[in-house]
């Protein structure tokens, strides 16, 4: 059972483009947004858009002695990179008085020591740590990385090392200390969508459901779609919408399918891996290539398949041959996701692990508020 009293006295600061920690601990967290398109903050609620106006208070907060934990989201490029400068200069928001110049400088304050422990939350699809963010890895206590390669050393490929890290590189004490800080980070259910999930189970109308990009996404999707269409020709009920669905309908169609196909997209991890179980469907996923936190286990909370020709077909036919087992897997998957992979649950994982609190303290999610909606992608 989650013990709220362990967190009531914390003072947390979050810097980044997504208020993950603020969402879970709204009254204890001061959030400074580095999102380039953010235009207005809610200062009275502890939600600020980093700017010249609040730079002084931001620095005072970060370097304060009463902070329990600072959580930082890395920026994709450094503030002096041409990509960031061009976005700032050639932006209509500049003409509207919303200049985003200073926002990318938020994480740069950690080039200098701070008193509070620092945790880094790296959420993008990239399976490596960008060169401009290696200083955060050196400064932080823990670095939570989505798309953490199975061989953790590959996060340094073409960044800290010019190619794939060599045995000599992997034997360096400095790099060993860096590796020891890495922790997997799940994508989970998108913030702002929890209240859209169906509460009651629904009768099954389809064998398999899928809605998402195929063209312009991974080859796993392109090849898998060919097998799905072939299965449809053999009489399997495959539900593939012809157009983009609003979130509520997307979740309804998930709930009405025995299986929801959830192939990797730009990264292996995907919102759909967690949304499908939350709706009462079993996610059908190509085998993982990354290290995961509290993973969905094959045959217990998910069905995994091999990407080689015929792998998807075999997994589908085997799964659909035992509907009672699929129903059991769906129930186990929903309980697992709602305990560990909600936005609040993920934030609790970051805070608890960073502060050395036992993981069994976070099995019960607490109430939170959502700020961000995700896309079907």
Give me the residue spans of the domains in the chain. Answer: 4-188+342-362, 194-340
Q: How far apart are CA 53 and CA 321, in angstroms?
A: 63
The predicted-structure confidence for 96-146, as pLDDT tens digits, reads as follows 445 566 777 889 999 999 999 999 999 999 999 999 999 999 999 999 999
Mean pLDDT of 206-235: 97
Helix (H) or strand (E) holding 32: strand 29-33
53 pLDDT tier (thresholds 50, 70, 90):
confident
Q: How far apart are CA 278 and CA 283, in angstroms?
A: 10
Contact indicator for 48, 36 with CB cutoff of 8 Å? no
Supply the pTM of this predicted model.
0.89
Q: Which of 57, 65, 7, 9 is nearest to 32 (CA)?
A: 57
List helix spans (H) across the chain: 20-24, 55-62, 82-89, 92-95, 134-139, 167-171, 173-179, 219-233, 247-255, 271-279, 311-320, 323-340, 343-355
Residue that is written with structure tokens 């106006």 in the block = 53
Examine the pLDDT at 84 and tell me if it is beyond 60: no
Say what the pLDDT of residue 366 is.
34
Q: Candidates 1.10.357.10, 3.40.50.2000, 3.40.30.10, 3.40.190.80; correct CATH number of 194-340? A: 3.40.50.2000
State how far the Cα of 175 lies from the Cα of 158, in Å rounded to an integer.
15
Q: What is the pLDDT of residue 363?
A: 40
Cross-strand pairs, 33: 16, 49
What tens digit of pLDDT does each residue of 176-216 get? 999 999 999 999 999 999 999 998 889 999 999 999 999 99
For domain 4-188+342-362, the CATH architecture is 3-Layer(aba) Sandwich (3.40)
Domains 4-188+342-362 and 194-340 in one fold: yes
pLDDT over 90 (residue 7): no
Q: Which of 151, 146, 156 is CA-nearest to residue 268? A: 146
- Could you tell me the CA-to-CA distances from 33 to 4, 14, 90, 100 in Å, in that order? 26, 8, 20, 10
pLDDT at 44: 72
Is the pLDDT reported for residue 376 higher than 70?
no
Look at residue 91 in the predicted model and tell me its pLDDT.
58
Q: Average pLDDT, stretch 347-375? A: 60
Structure tokens that stand for 133 in this block: 């963010």
Kindly indicate the confidence band of residue 5, based on its pLDDT and cuts at 50, 70 and 90: low
pLDDT(251) > 90: yes
* C-alpha to C-alpha distance for 73 and 51, rounded to whole angstroms: 17
Token readout for 295 is 């993973």
State the chain's mean pLDDT as an integer: 88
Name the band, by pLDDT with cuts 50, 70 and 90, for residue 371: very low
């Amino acid at each position: 059972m989650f013990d709220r009293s362990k967190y009531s006295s914390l003072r947390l600061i979050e810097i980044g483009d997504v208020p993950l920690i603020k969402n879970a601990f709204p009254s204890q967290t001061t959030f400074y947004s580095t999102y380039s398109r953010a235009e207005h903050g809610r200062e009275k609620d502890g939600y600020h858009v980093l700017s010249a106006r609040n730079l002084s208070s931001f620095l005072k907060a970060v370097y304060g002695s009463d902070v329990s934990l600072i959580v930082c989201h890395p920026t994709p490029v450094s503030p002096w990179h041409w990509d960031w400068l061009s976005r700032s200069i050639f932006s209509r928001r500049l003409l509207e008085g919303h200049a985003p110049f200073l926002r990318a400088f938020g994480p740069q304050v950690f080039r200098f020591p701070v008193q509070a422990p620092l945790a880094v939350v790296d959420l993008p699809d990239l399976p490596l740590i960008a060169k401009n963010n290696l200083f955060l890895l050196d400064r932080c206590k823990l670095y939570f990385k989505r798309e953490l390669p199975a061989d953790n050393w590959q996060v340094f490929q073409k960044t800290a090392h010019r190619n794939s890290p060599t045995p000599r590189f992997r034997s360096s004490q400095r790099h060993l200390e860096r590796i020891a800080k890495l922790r997997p980070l799940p994508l989970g259910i998108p913030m702002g969508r929890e209240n859209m999930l169906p509460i009651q189970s629904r009768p099954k109308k389809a064998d398999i459901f899928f809605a998402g990009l195929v063209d312009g996404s991974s080859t796993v999707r392109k090849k898998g779609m060919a097998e799905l269409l072939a299965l449809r020709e053999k009489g399997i009920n495959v539900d593939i919408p012809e157009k983009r669905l609003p979130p509520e309908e997307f979740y309804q169609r998930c709930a009405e399918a025995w299986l929801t196909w959830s192939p990797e997209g730009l990264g292996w991890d995907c919102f759909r891996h967690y949304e499908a179980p939350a709706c009462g469907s079993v996610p059908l996923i190509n085998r993982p290539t990354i290290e995961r936190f509290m993973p969905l286990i094959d045959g217990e909370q998910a069905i995994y398949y091999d990407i080689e020709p015929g792998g998807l077909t075999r997994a589908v036919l085997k799964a659909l041959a035992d509907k009672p087992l699929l129903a059991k897997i769906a129930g186990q998957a929903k309980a697992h996701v709602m305990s560990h992979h909600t936005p609040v649950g993920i934030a609790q994982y970051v805070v608890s692990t960073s502060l050395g609190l036992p993981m069994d303290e976070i099995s019960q999610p607490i109430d939170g508020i959502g700020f961000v909606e995700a896309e079907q992608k």
